[in-house]
A and B are shown apart, each in its own frame.
Chain A
Amino acid sequence: MENSLFSKPRDLFLDVVNPRDYVQIDSVSHMYQSLKNSVQKPLKMILLFGKPGTGKSMLLHKLHHDLSKHQKVLMFDIPIVDEDDFLRVLAQRIFGHSPREVMTLTRFLEIAEAVSYPDVPIVLLDEAQLYSSSLMEKIRLISDARAIKFVITLHKTDKEDVIAKEHFQTRIWESIELQNASAEELKVYVQKKLLKANCFDVANMFNDKNMKLITSLTKGNYRDTNKLLFSLFSLYYWYEQNHPTLIKYNALKSKWIEMAAIHTGLIRA
């Protein structure tokens, strides 16, 4: 199993958000630089939105990874839906205060006012569409008081657009939209990821035809691409173990790409 050519590439495409796996692509790099610049500005809120799988969480994690070296940054990748818990966690992890009494908004703002930082602390909220309207209203009030700067991510749906309008539209000073990748961007993403892990042989198996097929199946969605390639390399791994003569190392088999798409649900068959 350790001699397998495809086990390592397979594990690379596990759908896990890890800032170390961040792959620098031109368009994404531009987005990330914009995000970093926005964070440096005296903005109350920054909205990062896009369809699921366009890389919002990855950017947020990358931002957290980079900013945490210089300033106070708190990341909420799993939403805390209870208002009291949310405020209590914020008070404890940003301002180091653990009140025994019930945490109200007024009390939280008193604690924030008592503690002063050279830079405004940043809180990153992933999957903000899961927060209640009441809690989102409190987040708005906290950002208005300039106690905390929030960077939030939202799925781009009709419903979530409504939420964005209701709670953030008048207050957000910067919004960044992420989109699906093109075939070229996806090829760069896949090959950079493989080369970064020293999977040169496997990276060379991807030709333009393969990438067109993969892009047409995943529509350039990074999450779907990761899932597809994980299934694909699982297939290759199986054939490598059972029918190694069937593997051609100069290109990926379209049939196996489609079989992987069937397995991941991208093709209904």
Chain B
Amino acid sequence: MLDIRNLERRWLKYKIKSYAPYIGAVFLLLISLTVALSLSHDSDAPKTAMAKEPLESSAKTTVPKSDETQDILEPSMDFVQSFQTSLPQTPIAAASTAQNTKPLQQSIPATKVLNVPESPSIKAPPPAISPLSGDKSLSLNRNESKIDIESVERRFKETSNSNLGLFIARYHYDHGNYSEAYNFSLKTNNLNNKIDESWIIFAKSLVKLGRVEQAKKTLQLYISDSNSESARSLLDSIEQGSFK
């Protein structure tokens, strides 16, 4: 007599056994695939690490830089403050310092700059630009101004604008080029004889060129015509010998 239940149980066991090699093969295949994938990941890992290293090192190197910029920021704060105070007296120097401070202010958030406390390790800021040290700042800008003044002179020849003539005369006088200051102030006076400063530069240039009497005479004529106080005080100082 057949024991069907027992036979079915044995048949199930047999089927599991018969499929076991295939299941095992699939399992081994999956394991080998995962191992292969993990190995490939491992082989890629050093590359990524190497790729990351420069970033990390660069990040590390940027940290001291940010510290440096922080060190620089402290003086920049003072510099801005000093710039603000010196702005009305030295416009050219103020413009140049404003150009220098722009990138610094852009790279640093304003709140950070304001909240940074003063520390003794931070170097003292360079001395603020004062009217007395204006020669240095002017000498720095001189070469650039030469190019600029040539273009202004060219424009003056083309336009015969008295304001440009006054500007050129003032520039040459400030730079000790008294003969040129004399010439341009004379041209300006011919274009417009009511510009007070042009007459004064003209007289000063004459004094600097050693033509004091001609300067006095010119000032007297101008004072009689315009009653200019600045021309009068200059004439007084020339006569007293305080302006040489």
Contact = CB atoms under 8 A, between A and B. Distances in A.
A69 interface: no
Interface string B1-36: 010100110110111010000000000000000000
Q: Select the residue from A238, A239, A262, A267 with max chain B CB neighbours within 10 A.
A: A262
Nearest to B15: A258
A263 interface: yes
A114 interface: no
A211 to B, nearest CB: 20
B2 A258 contact: no
A5 interface: no
A234 B2 contact: yes
Contact of B14 (A231, A234, A238, A267): A267
Contacts of A234: 2
Main secondary structure of the interface of A (DSSP, over half): helix
Contacts of A259: 7-8, 10-11
B4 A262 contact: no
B14 A258 contact: yes
A238 B4 contact: yes
A263 B14 contact: no
Contacts of A235: 2, 4, 7
**Interface SS majority for chain B:** helix
Contacts of A1: none
Contacts of A238: 2, 4
A235 B15 CA distance: 18
A262 B10 contact: yes
A263 B14 CA distance: 12
A34 to B, nearest CB: 41
A231 B3 CA distance: 11
Interface residues of A, number: 13
B10 A269 contact: yes
A231 B17 CA distance: 22
Interface in B20-56: none
Interface in A223-251: 231, 234-235, 238-239, 242
B225 to A, nearest CB: 133
Given A255-B11, A269-B11, A263 B17 contact: no
Contacts of A267: 14
Which of A238, A242, A269 lies at the interface centre, i.e. has the most chain B CB atoms within 10 A of its CB? Answer: A269
Contacts of B11: 255, 258-259, 262, 269
Contacts of B17: 269
A269 B13 contact: yes
A89 B15 CA distance: 54
B2 A263 contact: yes
Interface in B75-124: none
A262 B15 CA distance: 11
A89 to B, nearest CB: 40
Contacts of B13: 269
A267 B17 CA distance: 12
A234 B11 CA distance: 16
A262 B7 contact: yes
Nearest to A237: B2
- Output the residue of B13, B14, B15 with the most chain A CB within 10 A: B14
Given A259-B7, A262-B7, 15 more contacts: A238-B2, A238-B4, A242-B4, A255-B11, A258-B11, A258-B14, A259-B8, A259-B10, A259-B11, A262-B11, A262-B14, A267-B14, A269-B10, A269-B13, A269-B17
29 contacts: A231-B2, A234-B2, A235-B2, A235-B4, A235-B7, A238-B2, A238-B4, A239-B4, A242-B4, A255-B11, A258-B11, A258-B14, A258-B15, A259-B7, A259-B8, A259-B10, A259-B11, A262-B7, A262-B10, A262-B11, A262-B14, A263-B2, A263-B7, A267-B14, A269-B10, A269-B11, A269-B13, A269-B14, A269-B17
Interface of A: 231, 234-235, 238-239, 242, 255, 258-259, 262-263, 267, 269
The 6 lowest CB-CB distance pairs between A and B, nearest first, are A269-B14, A269-B10, A259-B7, A259-B11, A262-B10, A269-B13
